[in-house]
Amino acid sequence: MLVTISQAIVGSIDLMAAFLLMFGLWRMSSPVTAPSGILVAGIGMLAAILASFLYVFSVAAAARSHLPMNIGLAGGALVLGVGVAWWGGRKVAITAMPQAVALFNGMGGGAAASIAAVELFGLKTHGAIPLTVTLLGALIGSISLSGSIIAWAKLDALLKKPLHLRGLQVFNGVVLLVALCVGGYIVLTTSTALTQVLPVPQLIEIFFGISLMYGVLMTLPIGGADMPVVISVYNAFTGLAVGLEGFVLQNPALMIAGMLVGAAGLLLTMLMAKAMNRSVAKILFMSIGPGAKRKRSAIKGSLKPVQASDAGIFMRYAKSVIICPGYGLAVSQGQGKLYDFVKLLQAAGVSVKFAIHPVAGRMPGQMDVLLAEAGVPYDLIVQLADINEEFKTTDVALVIGANDTVNPEARTDKTSPIFGMPILNADQAKKCYVIKRGNGNGYAGIVNPLFYADNTYMVYGDASAVCVAMAEAIRGLGAPAAAA
Amino acid sequence: MNFQIDIGGFIALYIFMVTAFAGWVIIGRVPAILHTPLMSGSNFVHGIIVVGGIFTLLNATTPLEQAIGFIAVLLGAGNVAGGFAVTQRMLAMFKTSGHAAEHHAKHARPGKRAKPTAVKAIKAKKA
C-alpha cells in the first residue's frame, strides 16, 4: 500500500517537474520573461528532488537493511553538493561564466556516468538493450565529464596551448573504437554464453578508463575560439547521457529533461558552427593547427597608432558609433569602463550601438551577458545579421579586443582558414578604431587587413585602461555643449 | 492500482523523439542575446540527474555502490545548484532602456509587455 502511494506521489510530482522544466525553458524566449522562467524550472526541480526521497518506500529488498546509512549518505551528498556549488555559482565572476558552465556541465556528465557505474558493477541491468543503453550513457557521460574538465582548464587558462600532434586524430579514432569494442564485448559476454577473457568488473573498469581518456584527448587539440562549439557539444552530451540513464532507471522525467537539453545543445552547436562557416566535425576533429598558418600575404597600408584620448574625442564629435566587442574585453574586464565611456558619448548626443558576433567570446552569447552585467540596456545590443547593413552609414566602428570576427579576409580571400565566415562589417564604417593589446594575430593566426586599412587607427593598450583614458579625455572637454 | 512505471524500448524511442522535437522548437525561439543563460539554464535542467542519483544511492547494497552513488548525488547536486545560481544571476542583469515600448513592438512576441520594474531608464539624449 505504502509502496503504491509513494509511487503515485513521486510519479505525479515528476510529471509536474518535467512540465515545469519545459515551461521554464519556454519562457526564455524573451529577456523579459526569462527570469521567471528559471524560477519556474527551479520550483519543478526542487519538488522532484524532495519527492525522490519517497523512493525509500520502494527500495529493493536487498537494500532495505542499508537504508538508514543510504539516506544519510544521500542527504549529506545533497547538502554538500548544493552548498559548495551554490556558493561557487554566486561568487564566480561574470567574465568567468564559460568556465563555470563547463564545470557544472561536467558534474552532470559525471553524475550520469556514476549512475551507470553503479548499474554496471552491481549487475543491475538485465538484457542486451538496457545494458547497451547503460553503456552508451556511461560512455557519453564520461566523455562529457573529462572533456568538460579539460575545457574548464583551457578556459581558466590553466592549459594554455592547444595540443597539436601528428596523427592525434587517428589515435583518437582508434581509442573511441576500442571503447566501443569493449562495450560491445561486455554486452555479448553477459547476455550470451561467450567465453570471458577478463572478468566483467575489470572490463567495466577498462571501459570507463578508455571513455574518460577519450574525453581528454578529444578536447586537448581544440583551441580557445572554438570553445563556444565545444561547450555546446558537451552540454548536448550530458543531456543525452542523462536521458539514456533515465531510460535505464525507468524515470521518464529524466528522459524528457535529458533529451530536451540534448536537443538544445545540438541546436546551439549547429548555430555556432554556422556562424563560423565550419562544420561541427571540422571544429571537433580538425583544429586549425600551426600547419594551417599561411605566408603573410601582401597587405597594402600600414598600422597607424593613435592616442586613446584622441580616439575618445573624435567619437565624442561623431554622430554614430558601433562598438564591436570581442574576447579581449572579457579578458581585461573592461565592460563597466566601456559603458561609462558610452554613457558620456550618449550624453553628448552620439548614437551608440553594440554589434555582437555570434561567436564573439568563449561561449554563445558571452558578450551579451558581459554587457548586461555592466548595465548596458539590451535594446542597444544588436546581433550581426540585424546591424551589418548599418556600418556603411556609421561614422565610427570601435573594435575592442576582437580580431577574426571583423577580418574582411573572410569575405574575399578563398585561401583563408576563415573564408566564408560571416563577419561584422567594421571596415565599411567611415572610420574604424581598434583597441588591441599588441600586434599579435587573432586566434586563427591570420593577419587582419582591417588593421592596415586607410580608415583604421590602432589604439594600443588594455581595453579597460583605454576606455578609462577615452572617458577622461571627454570629461576633460568640460560639460557637453548643446549638440545640434 | 499499480503506479510502477514500465517503459519499453519503443515507448522510450517515442518519448525521445517527441521531446527532441519539442526541445528543438522551444530552444529555436530563444534569441541570440540569451544564449549564455540558455546554455547554463539547460545545464541546470539536466541536473535532474540528481534524482536518478538519489534513487541509485537509496538502492545501494555494497560499499562500492554506496561510494559511487554518493559521488553521483554529490555531482548531480552541484550541477543543479550551480546551474541555477549562475543562470538566475545572469538573467537578473538583463535590463532594457527607456524606449522599451518601441523595442518590444519590434522584438518581443505580441501580447507581452515589459514589466515596469525591469525597465531601467537611461538618461534621455540631450537635444
Answer yes or no: are the C-beta atoms of B98 and B124 closer than 8 Å: yes
DSSP classification of residue A194:
P
Residue of chain A with shortest Cα separation from B2: A4
| Contact residues, chain B, for A257 at CB < 8 Å | 45-46, 48
For the cut 50, the answer to whether the pLDDT of residue A475 exceeds it is yes
Residue of chain A with shortest Cα separation from B109: A30
Task: Give the whole-angstrom CA distance, residue A305 versus residue B9.
Answer: 66
| Contact state of A251 with B52 under an 8 Å Cβ cutoff | yes
Chain B, 75 to 104: residues with Cβ < 8 Å from chain A are 75-97, 99-100, 103-104
Grid cell at residue A213: 581518456
Contact pairs from chain A to chain B, CB under 8 Å: 442
pLDDT in tens, A131-150: 999 999 999 999 999 999 99
For the cut 60, the answer to whether the pLDDT of residue A376 exceeds it is yes
Note whether B11 contacts A: Cβ–Cβ < 8 A: no
For the cut 70, the answer to whether the pLDDT of residue A247 exceeds it is yes
Q: What is the pLDDT of residue B106?
A: 45
Answer yes or no: are the C-beta atoms of B54 and A78 closer than 8 Å: yes
Domain ranges of chain B: 32-94, 96-127
> b or e along A207-231 (b: 16 or more beta carbons within 10 Å of the residue's beta carbon)?
bbebbbbbbbbbbbbbbbbbbbbbb
Q: Chain centroid to CA A247: how far?
A: 27
Rg (CA), chain B: 22
| Contact residues, chain B, for A252 at CB < 8 Å | 5, 7, 15
More confident residue, A285 or A112: A112
Segment A282-296 shows an average pLDDT of 57
Residue of chain A with shortest Cα separation from B4: A7
pLDDT in tens, A300-342: 778 888 888 889 999 999 999 999 998 889 888 889 999 999 9
Answer yes or no: are the C-beta atoms of A367 and A402 closer than 8 Å: no
Other CB atoms within a 10 A radius of the CB of residue A474 amount to: 20
pLDDT in tens, A37-58: 999 999 999 999 999 999 888 8
Q: What is the pLDDT of residue A215?
A: 93
Q: What is the pLDDT of residue A449?
A: 85
- Domain A308-476: top CATH class: alpha beta
Which residue among the candidates A14, A226, A368, A404 is catalytic per the annotation? A404
Domain ranges of chain A: 92-287, 308-476
| Contact state of A115 with B85 under an 8 Å Cβ cutoff | no
Q: What is the pLDDT of residue A411?
A: 84
Segment A193-209 shows an average pLDDT of 82
Q: What is the pLDDT of residue B104?
A: 44
Smallest Cβ distance to B56: which of A82, A118, A268?
Answer: A118
Answer yes or no: are the C-beta atoms of A321 and A350 closer than 8 Å: yes
Residue A61 CB-density burial (10 A; 0-12 exposed, 13-18 middle, 19+ buried): exposed
Range from A59-73, A216-230, B110-124 carrying the lowest mean pLDDT: B110-124
Q: pLDDT-derived band of residue A206, with 50, 70 and 90 as boundaries?
A: very high
Q: What is the pLDDT of residue B72?
A: 95
Residue A195 CB-density burial (10 A; 0-12 exposed, 13-18 middle, 19+ buried): exposed
| Contact residues, chain A, for B15 at CB < 8 Å | 252, 255-256, 259
Q: What is the pLDDT of residue A241?
A: 95
Q: pLDDT-derived band of residue B112, with 50, 70 and 90 as boundaries?
A: very low
| Contact state of B71 with A114 under an 8 Å Cβ cutoff | yes
Q: What SS3 class is residue B119?
A: strand
Range from A46-60, A113-127, A180-194, B95-109 carrying the lowest mean pLDDT: B95-109
| Contact residues, chain A, for B28 at CB < 8 Å | 267
| Contact state of A263 with B24 under an 8 Å Cβ cutoff | yes
Answer yes or no: are the C-beta atoms of A426 and A409 closer than 8 Å: no
Task: Give the whole-angstrom CA distance, residue B82 versus residue A92.
Answer: 10
* Mutation target among A49, A212, A272, A346 for the B interface, most CBs of B within 10 A: A49
| Contact state of A24 with B41 under an 8 Å Cβ cutoff | yes
Other CB atoms within a 10 A radius of the CB of residue A173 amount to: 12
| Contact state of A81 with B59 under an 8 Å Cβ cutoff | no
More confident residue, A424 or B106: A424
Percent pLDDT > 70 in chain A is 93
Note whether B46 contacts A: Cβ–Cβ < 8 A: yes
Q: pLDDT-derived band of residue A287, with 50, 70 and 90 as boundaries?
A: low
| Contact state of A56 with B58 under an 8 Å Cβ cutoff | yes
Task: Give the whole-angstrom CA distance, residue A75 versus residue B55.
Answer: 12
Number of H helices, E strands in chain A: 17, 6
| Contact state of B75 with A24 under an 8 Å Cβ cutoff | no
Residue of chain A with shortest Cα separation from B30: A29
pLDDT in tens, B8-17: 878 999 999 9
Closest to A58 measured CA to CA, from B12, B113, B3, B115: B3
Residue of chain A with shortest Cα separation from B123: A347
For the cut 80, the answer to whether the pLDDT of residue A256 exceeds it is yes
Query: Averaging pLDDT over each range in A256-260, A382-386, B7-11, which range is the top one?
Result: A256-260
3-state secondary structure A95-145: HHHHHHHHHHHHHHHHHHHHHHHHHHHCCCCCCHHHHHHHHHHHHHHHHHH
Task: Give the whole-angstrom CA distance, residue A96 versus residue B49.
Answer: 25
Closest approach of A453 to chain B, Cα-based (Å): 30
Could you give the residue ranges of the DSSP H alpha helices within A289-402? 308-316, 327-332, 335-347, 366-374, 384-387
Residue A290 CB-density burial (10 A; 0-12 exposed, 13-18 middle, 19+ buried): exposed
All residues at 6 or more sequence positions from A348 whose CB lies less than 8 Å from its CB, including other chains: A316, A474, A480, A483, B126
Answer yes or no: are the C-beta atoms of B58 and A74 closer than 8 Å: yes
More confident residue, A78 or A277: A78
Q: How far is CA A275 from CA A99, A119, A424, B57, in A?
A: 22, 41, 11, 43
Q: What is the pLDDT of residue A446?
A: 72
Q: pLDDT-derived band of residue A282, with 50, 70 and 90 as boundaries?
A: confident
Segment A22-30 shows an average pLDDT of 92
Catalytic (active site) residue A462: no
Residue type, A130: P
Segment A75-97 shows an average pLDDT of 92
Q: φ and ψ at A363, to 5 degrees?
A: -155, 155
Q: Chain centroid to CA A329: how far?
A: 17
Strand order in the sheet with A431-436: A381-383, A351-356, A320-325, A396-400, A431-436, A456-460
* Mutation target among A9, A27, A29, A351 for the B interface, most CBs of B within 10 A: A29
Q: What is the pLDDT of residue A1?
A: 79
Task: Give the whole-angstrom CA distance, residue A256 versus residue B23.
Answer: 9
Average pLDDT, chain A: 87
DSSP A421-453: -----GGGSSEEEEEESSS---TT----GGGGS
| Contact state of A253 with B50 under an 8 Å Cβ cutoff | no
Closest approach of A480 to chain B, Cα-based (Å): 9
For the cut 80, the answer to whether the pLDDT of residue A298 exceeds it is no
Closest to A308 measured CA to CA, from A398, A425, A405: A398
Closest approach of B117 to chain A, Cα-based (Å): 10
